[in-house]
């Protein structure tokens, strides 16, 4: 039995979490859930967005399912990434049937460094305006590049692409590019290349099937993964994993979506796919494939899906349909 921390959070996070836990009841893996608080609503009650108790619960668990945080996201998810050293952000970009995907054959993964870059938040006001410090360390660059190559090797992928802007950011991205090629020496059978981030953004639109595994820095990875979501039907279909050496935290990319919160119409796909990533992380690969395939069947049929997918089903009705596929 796996010990799992569950943080529903804010807005539709609660709704898609309920749907996902309902679906997980139908797979042959046992979980012991410990629920914890974080986010805007908790901060309104207590003045604290992320209590230490929640961090401790995640630390003592084998994995964490996280729903969404609203305006307090930087104080919740970013802080947890740093405190738990969740240095990998894994974001698959995959075409599924029955969606508004612009391409039918996409299946690549963005491996984003999760603890450094501009997102460390070292900013200050100056007489002229403000400045921000962008940090790249050799240690972090080595860890994320090694993870990307190991992930490619483990999952049978053939190519790793480093994305950077070393022609302008000569010190920070120069170090990242240099480290990428040094790590690549340990993987002589892997195809590899590197591209500038602006060119990569263009190739996402013109030749996205050229990518397999992308490894990049924090800000670039954040932007490119949202662009990737646009290629395959939107944020409601994109999961993510935050992975360190000891913990893994799994969350949809879509955020708390306050405009539709409480209406019961949120698409649960991204949260369910985040649970698929969690199962793979726990090496419950057979269960992961069954869960993903059940979702794919429901998407392909298109009969019981949420409004954004062209249907009229509620969040829990779609979840029930996915669960029925698993039970059959």
* Three-class SS of the chain: CEEEEEEEECCHHHHHHHHHHHHHCCCCCCEEEEECCCCHHHHHHHCCCCCHHHHHHHHCCCEEEEEECCCCHHHHHHHHHHHCCCCEEEEEEECCCCCCCCCCCCEEEEEEECCCEHHHCCEEECCCCEEECCECCHHHHHHHHHHHHHHHHHCCCCEEEEEECCCCCCCHHHHHHHHHHHHHCCCCCCEEEEEEHHHHHHHHHHCHHHCCEEEECHHHHHHHHHHHHHHCCCHHHCEEEEECCCCEEEEECCCCCCCCCCCCCCCCHHHHHHHHHHHHHCCCHHHHHHHHHHHHHHHHHCCCCCHHHCCCCCHHHHHHHHHHHHHC
Q: Which of these is catalytic: 193, 198, 209, 245?
A: 198
> If pLDDT is split at 50, 70 and 90, which confidence band does 111 have?
very high
> If pLDDT is split at 50, 70 and 90, which confidence band does 67 have?
very high
pLDDT exceeding 90 applies to what percent of the chain?
Answer: 93
Is residue 212 scored above 90 in pLDDT?
yes
119 is catalytic: yes
Q: Which of these is catalytic: 143, 165, 177, 325?
A: 165
Average pLDDT of the segment spanning 287-303: 97
> If pLDDT is split at 50, 70 and 90, which confidence band does 164 have?
very high
CA–CA distances in Å: residue 195 to residues 157, 162, 199, 233, 293: 18, 6, 7, 25, 33
The pLDDT score that the predictor gives to residue 33 is 97
Rounded Cα distance, 311 and 99, in Å: 11
Is residue 78 scored above 90 in pLDDT?
no
Is residue 219 scored above 90 in pLDDT?
yes
The pLDDT score that the predictor gives to residue 120 is 84
Is residue 235 scored above 90 in pLDDT?
no
> If pLDDT is split at 50, 70 and 90, which confidence band does 121 have?
confident
The pLDDT score that the predictor gives to residue 218 is 95
222 is catalytic: yes
Is residue 58 scored above 90 in pLDDT?
yes
Q: Which of these is catalytic: 75, 212, 226, 297?
A: 226
Q: Which of 44, 49, 102, 108 is nearest to 80 (CA)?
A: 49
Average pLDDT of the segment spanning 58-83: 92
Q: 248 and 145 in contact (C-beta within 8 Å)?
A: no
Least confident residue range of 24-28, 76-80, 183-187, 316-320: 76-80
Q: Which of these is catalytic: 222, 281, 290, 325?
A: 222
Structural domains in the chain? 1-87+237-328 (3.40.718.10), 102-107+132-231 (3.40.50.2300)
Q: Which of 208, 117, 108 is nearest to 155 (CA)?
A: 108
Is residue 284 scored above 90 in pLDDT?
yes
> If pLDDT is split at 50, 70 and 90, which confidence band does 73 have?
confident
Average pLDDT of the segment spanning 122-128: 94
Q: Which of these is catalytic: 119, 147, 151, 281?
A: 119
Rounded Cα distance, 155 and 325, in Å: 26
The pLDDT score that the predictor gives to residue 82 is 86
The pTM of this model reads: 0.93
Q: 90 and 239 in contact (C-beta within 8 Å)?
A: no
The pLDDT score that the predictor gives to residue 289 is 97
Average pLDDT of the segment spanning 225-249: 94
198 is catalytic: yes
> If pLDDT is split at 50, 70 and 90, which confidence band does 301 have?
very high
- Per residue in 166-205, pLDDT (tens digit) is 999 999 999 999 999 999 999 999 999 999 999 999 999 9
Is residue 116 scored above 90 in pLDDT?
yes
């Amino acid at each position: 039995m796996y010990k799992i921390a569950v943080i529903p959070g804010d807005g539709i996070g609660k709704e898609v979490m309920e749907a996902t836990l309902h679906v997980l009841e139908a797979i042959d893996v046992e979980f012991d859930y410990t629920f914890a608080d974080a986010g805007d609503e908790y901060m309104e009650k207590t003045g604290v967005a992320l209590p230490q108790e929640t961090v401790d619960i995640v630390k003592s668990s084998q994995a964490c399912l996280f729903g969404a945080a609203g305006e307090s996201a930087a104080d919740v998810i970013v802080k947890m990434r740093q405190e738990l050293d969740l240095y990998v952000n894994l974001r698959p970009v995959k075409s599924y049937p029955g969606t508004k995907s612009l391409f039918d054959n996409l299946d690549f993964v963005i491996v984003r460094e999760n603890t450094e870059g501009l997102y460390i938040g070292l900013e200050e006001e100056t007489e002229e305006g403000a400045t921000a410090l962008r940090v790249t360390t050799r240690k972090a660059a080595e860890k994320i590049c090694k993870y990307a190559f190991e992930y490619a090797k483990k999952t049978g992928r053939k190519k790793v692409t480093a994305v950077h802007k070393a022609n302008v950011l000569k010190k920070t991205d120069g170090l990242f590019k240099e480290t990428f090629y040094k790590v690549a020496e340990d993987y002589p059978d892997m195809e590899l290349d590197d591209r500038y981030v602006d060119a990569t953004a263009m190739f996402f639109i013109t030749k996205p099937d050229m990518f397999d595994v992308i490894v990049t820095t924090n800000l670039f990875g954040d932007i490119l993964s949202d662009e990737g979501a646009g290629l395959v039907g939107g944020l409601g279909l994109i999961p993510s994993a935050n992975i360190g050496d000891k913990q893994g935290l799994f969350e949809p990319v879509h955020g708390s979506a306050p405009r539709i919160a409480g209406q019961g119409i949120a698409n649960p796909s991204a949260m369910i796919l985040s649970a698929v990533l969690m199962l793979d992380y726990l090496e419950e690969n057979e269960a992961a494939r069954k869960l993903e395939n059940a979702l794919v069947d429901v998407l392909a049929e298109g009969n019981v899906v949420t409004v954004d997918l062209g249907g009229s089903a509620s969040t829990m009705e779609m979840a029930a349909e996915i669960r029925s596929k698993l039970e059959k």
